[in-house]
Amino acid sequence: MRKGLGIILEEISTMTTEYTNQDKNLAECIVSSHSYENKVQAANTEYKFDEVTEKEVAEFKLYEYPEIYENYKQSHILGSGDETFREAVQNMDALNAELGPDKQLKAFILIFKNQSEQAGIMQENYWKGGNKNEFVLTIGVDNNNNIQWAHPFTWSENVAVKSNIRSFVAKQGKLNLAKVSSYMYGELDKNFERKHFKDFNYLTVEPSNRSMTITTILLIIINVCFAVWFILNEHNNKFFSNRD
- Please report which confidence band the pLDDT of residue 232 belongs to, taking 50, 70 and 90 as the band edges: confident
H helix runs in 18-113, sequence order:
39-42, 54-60, 85-103
135: nearest Cα among 99, 106, 167:
106
In words, the CATH class of domain 10-200 is alpha beta
Q: What percent of the chain has pLDDT over 90?
A: 49
* Residue ranges covered by each domain of the chain: 10-200, 209-243
Rounded CA separation 9/6 (Å): 6
Q: What is the DSSP string of 150-170?
A: EEEEE--S-THHHHHHHHHHH
Q: Does the pTM of the predicted model rise above 0.75?
A: no
Rounded CA separation 52/97 (Å): 31
Least reliable range by pLDDT among 36-40, 72-76, 145-149, 193-197: 36-40
Residue 137, beta-bridge partner list: 109, 152
Q: Tell me the pairing of strands 106-113 and 77-78.
A: parallel
CA-CA distances (angstroms) from residue 26 to 61, 94, 107?
36, 12, 22
Q: Contact 45/38 with Cβ under 8 angstroms?
A: no
Taking only the tens place, the pLDDT of each residue in 152-187 is 999 998 999 999 999 999 999 999 999 999 999 999
The pLDDT, as a whole number, for residue 11 is 34
Taking only the tens place, the pLDDT of each residue in 66-102 is 998 888 889 999 998 899 999 999 999 999 989 988 8
Q: Tell me the pairing of strands 77-78 and 147-154.
A: unpaired
Q: Is 107 helix (H, G, I), strand (E, B) or coil?
A: strand
The pLDDT, as a whole number, for residue 33 is 73
